[in-house]
Structure 1
Amino acid sequence: MRDDNFLSEMNARHLWHPFGHPGEARANPPKIIRRAEGVRITDEAGHTTIDGVGGLWCVNLGYSCQPIKDAVAAQLAELPYYSAFKGTTNGPAIELSVELARWFGPEGLTRAFLTSGGSDAVDTALKLARQYHKLNGEPGRTKFVALTKAYHGTHWGGAAVNGNPLFRAPYEPHLSGTFHVPSPYAYRNPWDETDPERLSALCLRMLEEQIVFQDPATVAAFILEPVQGAGGVIVPPESFLRGAREICDRHGVLLIADEVISGFGRTGHVCASRRSGVRPDLMTLAKALTSGYFPMGAVMVSERLADAFEHEETGGMIPTGYTYSGHPVGCAAALACLAETERLKVWENAASTGARVLAGLEGLRRHACVGDVRGIGLMCALEIVSDRDAKTADPARAGRIFEAAYRAGAMVRWSGANLVVSPPLTLTPAEGDAIVAALDQGLSEAG
């Protein structure tokens, strides 16, 4: 491989980064990650840190999962690719659909549409929701309702239902017929309500009012992350998802659970919907489906929706898909990943070690710039402010803390004023303590 100075120079000349300014790479060169093992990553300077980001919410099994590597190599040797469009398929894709139906059978989700990743999965779920209503004799149901602070990927439909103007404004106008209601964000909300249950009730009331205002006969689906990730790790009470399910049922609106981040154990549950005992109509999955070892996603479909498609002779054809839908190598990686995820029961470690990490982060409130601490399982966040009373967000200070924490031994995610912790679910308690200690040092140096 070329030397690091050359790579840094070529990066600045040729490579545009997601969610980055094209000119930033020259003034502030990105860290070049050279290798990884277990839960640790090493950069071009030889500096090793604990990966408190889990790649990007996705490397649940760490970087040394040999069964996944072996499965990928074996599948490459046997069948590196073939299309799963109508008329052909492959064994790993079929096996993966069976396995996913077993995993999410408790939610009544028994059909799988395989995609290349989370953004693909979200756009597919939005399309299937509209198509279902057409098959069901309600073609006027085309609108979508989502939450503020929501993140649903970067494709055209997903960007439209995103609830953060940062991800929307440069590409407007978006898909028409998308509307947003406040998220149950106890630290910041229109009512300054800090009690989670009262806030949940207020947000649910706004959801129902929006559906009624739009006319329920025109609303296709409500899409939400059961725990909001990129929006800052916003954890609603369990009653929120249950209330949303009741409202959707009352008005004939589908419920789409975006579990691209929360699926496969990160919240301390197999999926965040199960935490609330809710059965969504559609569920999007990706990231931990292969532990990030291969680009892969899926949409899980309920029996009720499946009936409308499978028993309709003409209109049930699904005219969407991706070249890499059902990619045999990705499916082999996913099958090995799911087997290891289940063998290790990583959701149990996410619950116990995550509680320890969250308790450690709570102790960092002694730093005046820590405005809020929140989380569930192994997804946590600190919100950095310049004034606690005014809750003045301070992204620049968060960036300085991020750099100092990295030098101290932990990579965390800097997202606006939030510092997010989402490490592999194989994290040990001692490694969790080390992440907290690095953030503590970063806050002392730069906070």
Structure 2
Amino acid sequence: MAKITNLIGYGIVAATNQVGPHIKHISAVSNLQKQIVSDQIQVRWSSTETSLKNDISATDVRGYKGHDMLAPFTAGWHTTDLEPLVIQKSEGSYVYDVNGKKYLDALAGLWCTSLGGSEPRLVAAATKQLNELPFYHSFWNRSTKPSLDLAKELLDLFTANKMAKAFFTNSGSEANDTQVKLVWYYNNALGRPEKKKFIARTKSYHGSTLISASLSGLPALHQQFDLPAPFVLHTDCPHYWRFHQPGETEEEFSTRLANNLENLILKEGPETVTSINFDHVFLFHMHYI
């Protein structure tokens, strides 16, 4: 593989022609690690091990191998055997590592920095709020003016189908966990305690906490964690190119998936299924976009 620097890929990626060490690691890991590697091969390339081996200079910063942080979506040998990619600053859509190398942040952080890094308006607003009131909760009918104003502004956007309330969380995982609780609460209040099952798609990603990881249709998030939870069901991944049958048109593929979903609901019992959680766009695997 020819040397490629600042390759746009899964998040932030820099690859070189030294793929051999990674292949060696692939052959040595367990079946579970192989599954993780298969899903995240470009994440492995994002480690600076390769660039440090080939582009090492007197000014390069090293010494983070075997660091003390437990990193999510990271195999144990990543932290013991590889130097991590340490990001230091951001400018718009680009980030820079501790050695000054520039990368296009193709994943926008984790889909949450779409306005870019170090956006002056966001920095100014955050600084102003931190100086005035850095934190306060919303328990027991308490709130803050920015929270109330933002909730109203968000709900005003839904003019076609007015929503009742906005509930703020810290992450997508927490949002998915909360919506499951709210749906259960709603059905319990209506006297439908059996209506508790959720349906999501295989290959989807909804988060990494207990419920959101269960909703995610990724084996690596389930194996060794006793997941998915029994109230979560999974149906087909709607990726025509990968999963269509020989000679099957896209319309026929879509019809088959719709029929499979209906049959799953009928098998489980419509009175037990409360929600269907589908991605608008498959974001976890870049080739689904």
Task: Give the structure-2-normalised TM-score.
Answer: 0.74
Q: Which residue of 1 aligns with 2:113?
A: 59
- Deviation at 1:192? 4.7
Given the alignment of the two structures, is residue 72 of structure 1 paired with residue 126 of structure 2, yes or no?
yes
Deviations 1:65-108 (A, max 9, x none): 11111111111111111111123111111111101102234343
2:197/2:275 contact within 8 Å kept: yes
1:133/1:139 contact within 8 Å kept: yes
Distance 2:171 2:95 in 1: 23
Match of 2:201 among 135, 143, 147: 147
Distance 1:193 1:175 in 2: 36
Q: Secondary structure at the match of 1:49?
A: strand
Q: Which residue of 2 aligns with 1:98?
A: 152
Given the alignment of the two structures, is residue 182 of structure 1 paired with residue 232 of structure 2, yes or no?
no
> Which letter does structure 1 place at the counterpart of 2:219?
P
2:204/2:279 contact within 8 Å kept: yes
2:62/2:83 contact within 8 Å kept: no
The 1:165–1:190 alpha-carbon spacing in structure 2 relative to 1, beyond 3 Å, is: farther
- Deviation at 1:172? 1.0
> Which letter does structure 1 place at the counterpart of 2:160?
P
Match of 2:73 among 1, 6, 19: 19
2:244/2:253 contact within 8 Å kept: no
Distance 1:163 1:33 in 2: 29
Distance 2:96 2:274 in 1: 46
Q: Which residue of 2 aligns with 1:4?
A: 61
Q: Secondary structure at the match of 1:42?
A: strand
2:136/2:143 contact within 8 Å kept: yes
Match of 1:86 among 140, 144, 167: 140
TM alignment of 1:111-190, pairs within 5 A: 111-189=165-243
Q: Secondary structure at the match of 2:200?
A: strand
The 1:43–1:50 alpha-carbon spacing in structure 2 relative to 1, beyond 3 Å, is: same
Distance 2:159 2:189 in 1: 24
The 1:133–1:231 alpha-carbon spacing in structure 2 relative to 1, beyond 3 Å, is: farther
Distance 1:39 1:166 in 2: 29
Q: Which residue of 2 aligns with 1:213?
A: 267
TM alignment of 1:193-212, pairs within 5 A: 195-212=249-266
Identity of aligned residues (%): 29
1:100/1:110 contact within 8 Å kept: no
- Deviation at 1:190? 6.3
Q: Secondary structure at the match of 2:173?
A: helix
Deviations 1:178-203 (A, max 9, x none): 11110211122263566333222111
1:102/1:110 contact within 8 Å kept: no
Q: Which residue of 2 aligns with 1:39?
A: 93
Q: Secondary structure at the match of 1:144?
A: strand
Number of residue pairs matched?
230
**Structure with the larger strand share:** 1
Q: Secondary structure at the match of 2:222?
A: helix
Deviations 1:381-433 (A, max 9, x none): xxxxxxxxxxxxxxxxxxxxxxxxxxxxxxxxxxxxxxxxxxxxxxxxxxxxx
Distance 1:143 1:19 in 2: 27
> Which letter does structure 1 place at the counterpart of 2:122?
I
Distance 2:173 2:107 in 1: 19
Deviations 1:31-51 (A, max 9, x none): 111211122222122222322
Q: Which residue of 2 aligns with 1:254?
A: none
TM alignment of 1:203-242, pairs within 5 A: 203-232=257-286, 234=288
